[in-house]
Amino acid sequence: MPAFICTTCGTQYPPGEAPPPACPVCQDERQYVNLLGQTWTTLEAMRRTHFNAFRQHEPDLIGIGTVPAFAIAQRALLIRTPHGNILWDCVSFIDDATIEIVRALGGLIGIAISHPHYYSSMIAWSQAFGGVPIHQHTRDRKWVMRPDPAVQFWDGPSKELVPGVTLLHCPGHFAGAQVLHWAAGAGGKGALLSGDIVQVGWDRKVSFMRSYPDLIPLDRSSVEHIAAVLQPWPFEPIYGAWWDRILPADGKAVLNYSVQRYIEAISAPPKD
């Protein structure tokens, strides 16, 4: 039986004879149901029309994104380490070519995803590489639409996946939102892989939202908490969720400036 995929958010559901009656991820206030109504696809159907593209962002960091763009259109990031490779965030599409390329790059020993909008086909990805664990914060447990033993929930402020690759709990966009710190990034200066928990903007600053498509801002205390969580961790680049959402340097300084800018914007009267 096919595992149906929501065409708006890209979430894959358990195999069934028919798709679910609705997608709870899209019905949440942080997402939306397509104006044309709820529609579904499958990996089998997508393999006739889509493929994955790869781009090296820096040594040992490779982006993976689907062409043509699908659903939210985020790209995943493959981190290569001496202790095994980690897939950060995920995409809905996977095929034989993708599996062969990732295996040639060293395969996977784990997957971690910033928040439920990017859970996508995480179970299919895990199964393709021998059922590797998917590390999700326990506070987002209810958003796992396709339960599987591969999904391993953790609790607390941080979790080291392999030496130098650490998940940091940054609640706000979702209660279990997480970012990933890669100590070896930027030649050892550190890199932050943020999804859209810390959103890289067109002005190469960062910002925060509870809902991006529905323009619901994040509260001040959550933003200040995210800043406090990230303060002890050194990083230069910030890698957002899309190919072009990358802050190449000065990440910590930009974060500090952007937090103050955001707080002033939601607190002060409108400027001229």
What is the pTM for the complete model shown? 0.96
pLDDT computed for residue 26 by the predictor: 98
Residue 113 near residue 82, CB atoms below 8 Å: no
**pLDDT score at 173:** 97
Q: What's the order of all strands across the beta sheet hosting 246-247? A: 158-162, 165-169, 178-182, 191-195, 238-240, 246-247
Total H helices, total E strands in the chain: 7, 20
Q: Tens-of-pLDDT digits for all 272 residues of the chain?
A: 999 999 999 999 999 999 999 999 999 999 999 998 999 999 999 999 999 999 999 999 999 999 999 999 999 999 999 999 999 999 999 999 999 999 999 999 999 999 999 999 999 999 999 999 999 999 999 999 999 999 999 999 999 999 999 999 999 999 999 999 999 999 999 999 999 999 999 999 999 999 999 999 999 999 999 999 999 999 999 999 999 999 999 999 999 999 999 999 999 787 77
User: Which long-range contacts does 242-245 make (Cβ < 8 Å, 24+ apart)?
Assistant: 242/73, 242/74, 242/75, 243/55, 243/63, 243/65, 243/75, 245/199, 245/200, 245/201
What pLDDT shows up at residue 212?
Answer: 96
Per the listing, tokens 């889509």 go with 50
Domains detected in the chain: 3-35+50-267 (3.60.15.10)
